[in-house]
Amino acid sequence: MLQEEESKPGVYRISFTLKEIRPLIIRYIDIAQDPNSHNSLWNLKDYKYYHEQLKEHYIQIGKEQKPSMADKLAYIVLLSNSKRKILESESIEDFKLFREDRQPDFKINQVIEAEYNENDDDHEDHNDCICSYQNLKIVYFVENIDTGIVLHVGSECIKKYKLVSKEEFESKKKIFNEITSKKKERQLEIELGLPLGFYEQQRQLDIKRKIEEKKQKKKEKQQRQLDIKRKIEEKKQKKKEKQQTKIDSGNYRWCYLCDEKLMNIKNERNKRFCDHCIENDPRANIINKYYKSLILDIILNCKRFICTNCDVPFISLLSNSEYLCKKCVKENKVISCKICKTDILLDINSNDIYCEDCQEKLFNCMECDEVTIRQNIDSIRCKTCQLCYDNKKILQKCCECDEEFIRKQKDHWRTYCEICFKNIEFPECRCLKKMVQRNVKKEGANKGRKFYVCKEGKCNEFVWA
């Protein structure tokens, strides 16, 4: 078999040089690549014809050793390359045979499983590898990417000599193994009298069963985690209730420094700090040192509040907020809504500046595209833009004299110019004032019809025009 070079692991030695083998290749390359030739590489089941040529050439050039499998394989590979490439190359190293640091020259076209009797030496369907290994059981048909010539190669040669990429070889091998296993399953089903596809169906059922088992285990794990969390929450709730009961009794108080420990003040009503804080917290030492002079200030400053987040009482001296305790202020914050000025509880990393109610009323003004709060359901502009829109002056034709007059956008009810409006004889209402003409806007039979109503709306006088 082949030996690896000591300096380059994975690279196999070739005993000939390109200068020694080039005359032989040039002599037979046309025959090897001619599809109509009897000894064409396209039509051969074995490569003894060319291996014998290589053996005779070794004798002619005075080489004592016989060609190795690597020499035979390399010779056939060189024959499958183009004649121009053989002539232009200076060294065998230009072909980078059996090297991983190159692009593969071949691709796998087909993989078949040879079926023949191993004891029958004259069988015509024998397929030999290009390295001279005989009677391949699994034959890989590899195609030269440049010339399109197809050669028979065994799986061991493909792996050792790196004829194709590792990824392509593994992919084709996997597909072939799947096809082979399915064929064997079909034969076994026929022999045992089972319905076709029985083993495939069983395999699919096993896959489904495993998936269901995984789902069930996942659900059980989630349920266990939920039970653990529920038990922890129950313990915390019981602990809080127990602490609250102690506080309600009037004999216990929270430590003003750590706000975590309950102190028994049954015998010391003026006690403000727990023993742990007195020993370890420097603030407690300062307070104890000047206790008599500062006690009144501390009592006044240490106001107790209820945390907005966890509903636990806390001391204002220990927290920078009047709404959150020392623990919650690290993860939460309370801000005032920019619009309604309502206090809202948010995550400390949140960038919101509006409460949920105001957030629903926000919209972008169609004129200036600024975010504003919606005053009415049909509002599409901010206050400033709406005021500018209403007071915008437009031209309109008088429905009496057909002359144009200027009116404001919001005065859509004006259909007469000032002169015609004064000359129109409008009826008088009960207030003894001229009535105003209006149009019916409601959907129905009277839509667009004109009528007169009281100008100030004091009386309910109504007359059709």
Q: State which of 330, 361, 379 marks the end of a domain.
A: 330
Residue 194 lies in a domain: no
Q: Tell me, yes or no, whether 321 and 174 share the same domain.
A: no
Residue 363 lies in a domain: no
Instruction: Write down the mean pLDDT value for the chain.
Output: 79
Residue 234 lies in a domain: no
Q: Is the pLDDT of residue 231 over 90?
A: yes
Please state the separation of Cα 335 from the chain's center in Å. 34
Residue 140 lies in a domain: yes
Between 462 and 47, residue with greater pLDDT:
47
Q: Tell me, yes or no, whether 29 and 168 share the same domain.
A: yes
Q: Tell me, yes or no, whether 58 and 152 share the same domain.
A: yes
Q: Tell me, yes or no, whether 32 and 146 share the same domain.
A: yes
Q: State which of 145, 160, 186 marks the end of a domain.
A: 186
Residue 149 lies in a domain: yes
pLDDT in the model for residue 6: 34
Q: How far apart are CA 269 and CA 7, in angstroms?
A: 88
Residue 141 lies in a domain: yes
Residue 277 lies in a domain: yes
Q: Tell me, yes or no, whether 45 and 155 share the same domain.
A: yes
User: Looking at the 3D structure of the chain, how many domains does it have?
Assistant: 3
pLDDT in the model for residue 14: 81
Q: Tell me, yes or no, whether 295 and 172 share the same domain.
A: no
pTM of the shown model: 0.43
* Model confidence band, residue 11 (pLDDT cutoffs 50, 70, 90): very low
Residue 117 lies in a domain: yes
Q: State which of 186, 206, 234 marks the end of a domain.
A: 186
CB 141, CB 80: distance < 8 Å: no
Q: Tell me, yes or no, whether 182 and 276 share the same domain.
A: no
Q: What would the pLDDT profile of 241-255 be if each residue is shown by its tens digit?
A: 888 888 888 888 888
* Model confidence band, residue 7 (pLDDT cutoffs 50, 70, 90): very low
* E-state strands within 145-270: 150-153, 252-254, 262-264
Q: What would the pLDDT profile of 263-279 be if each residue is shown by its tens digit?
A: 888 787 777 777 777 77
Between 99 and 399, residue with greater pLDDT:
399
pLDDT in the model for residue 1: 30
Range(s) of the domain holding residue 431: 425-465
Q: Tell me, yes or no, whether 326 and 429 share the same domain.
A: no
pLDDT in the model for residue 8: 41
Residues sharing a CB contact under 8 Å with residue 408, sequence separation 6 or more, in sequence order: 390, 391, 392, 393, 394
Q: Tell me, yes or no, whether 284 and 180 share the same domain.
A: no
